[in-house]
A and B are shown apart, each in its own frame.
Chain A
Amino acid sequence: MNDRIQNAFSNGKAFIPFVTCADPDISLTEELVLAMVDSGADLVELGLPFSDPIAEGPVIQQADERALASGFKIHDLFTLIERLRNHTQIPLVCMTYLNPVYRYQKDRFLMSAKQAGLDGMIIPDLPYEEQGEIKGSCKTHEIKLISMISPTSRERIITVSKNSEGFLYCVSSLGVTGMRASLTDNAKEMVELAKAHSNTPCAVGFGIHTPEQAHLIASYADGIIVGSAIMNIIAEKGSESVQPVSRYVQQMKQAIMV
Chain B
Amino acid sequence: MEPGRFGPYGGRYIPETLMSAILELEAAYDRLKGDATFQEELNTLYTNYASRPSLLTFAENVTEDLGGAKVYLKREDLNHTGSHKINNVLGQCLLAKHMGKKRVIAETGAGQHGVATATVAALMGLECEIFMGKVDCQRQALNVYRMRLLGATVHPVESGTQTLKDAVSETMREWTKRIDDTHYVLGSVMGPHPFPTMVRDFQKIIGREVRTQILAAEGKLPDYIIACVGGGSNAIGIFHEFIGEPSVHLVGCEAAGKGINTKKHAATLTRGSEGVFHGMKSIFCQNEDGQIDEVYSISAGLDYPGIGPEHAQLFATKRATYVPITDAEAVDAFTYLSRKEGIICAIESAHALAYTMKLAPTLDKEKIIVVNLSGRGDKDVAAIARYQGETLYE
Using a CB–CB cutoff of 8 Å, the interface residues on chain A facing chain B are: 50-52, 54-55, 57-58, 61, 65, 68, 73-74, 98-104, 124-130, 133, 148-154, 156, 160, 171, 174-176
A58 touches B17 (CB 8 A): no
Contact of B15 among A57, A73, A127, A154 (CB under 8 A): A127
B169 touches A54 (CB 8 A): yes
Contact of B20 among A125, A152, A171 (CB under 8 A): A152
**Which size class do B's interface residues fall under?**
35 or more
Bound-state CA distance A106–B277 (Å) is 15
A52 touches B19 (CB 8 A): no
Min CB distance, A235 to chain B, in Å? 15
Identify 19 residue pairs between A and B in the complex whose beta-carbon atoms are under 8 Å apart, listed by A's number: A51-B291, A51-B292, A52-B166, A73-B289, A74-B289, A98-B13, A102-B274, A102-B290, A103-B289, A125-B14, A126-B13, A129-B19, A130-B11, A133-B276, A152-B18, A154-B20, A171-B17, A175-B173, A175-B177
Q: Count contacts between A and B, CB distance < 8 Å.
A: 115
A58 touches B159 (CB 8 A): yes
B12 touches A153 (CB 8 A): no
| B178 CB contacts on chain A under 8 angstroms | 174
B17 touches A152 (CB 8 A): yes
Judged by a CB distance under 8 angstroms, whether B150 is at the interface is: no
New A-B pairs, 15, CB < 8 Å, besides A55-B17, A99-B275, A125-B276: A52-B169, A52-B278, A55-B15, A55-B173, A99-B276, A99-B277, A102-B276, A103-B273, A129-B19, A130-B13, A152-B16, A153-B16, A171-B16, A174-B17, A174-B176
Bound-state CA distance A160–B19 (Å) is 12
Judged by a CB distance under 8 angstroms, whether B172 is at the interface is: yes
| B14 CB contacts on chain A under 8 angstroms | 125, 127
B12 touches A129 (CB 8 A): yes
Contact of B176 among A51, A65, A175 (CB under 8 A): A175
Min CB distance, B26 to chain A, in Å? 11
A127 touches B13 (CB 8 A): yes
Interface flags for B271-315 (1: CB within 8 Å of A; 0: not) read 001111111000010101111100000000000000000000000
Judged by a CB distance under 8 angstroms, whether B179 is at the interface is: yes
| B11 CB contacts on chain A under 8 angstroms | 130
Bound-state CA distance A175–B18 (Å) is 10
Using a CB–CB cutoff of 8 Å, the interface residues on chain B facing chain A are: 11-21, 159-160, 165-166, 169, 172-173, 176-179, 273-279, 284, 286, 288-292
Bound-state CA distance A153–B19 (Å) is 7
A102 touches B275 (CB 8 A): yes
B277 touches A152 (CB 8 A): no
Min CB distance, B302 to chain A, in Å? 18
Nearest neighbor of B178 in chain A, beta-carbon distance: A174
Bound-state CA distance A154–B23 (Å) is 12
| A50 CB contacts on chain B under 8 angstroms | 290-291
| A61 CB contacts on chain B under 8 angstroms | 159-160
Bound-state CA distance A149–B15 (Å) is 9
Nearest neighbor of B165 in chain A, beta-carbon distance: A52
Contact of B177 among A127, A133, A174 (CB under 8 A): A174
| B172 CB contacts on chain A under 8 angstroms | 54
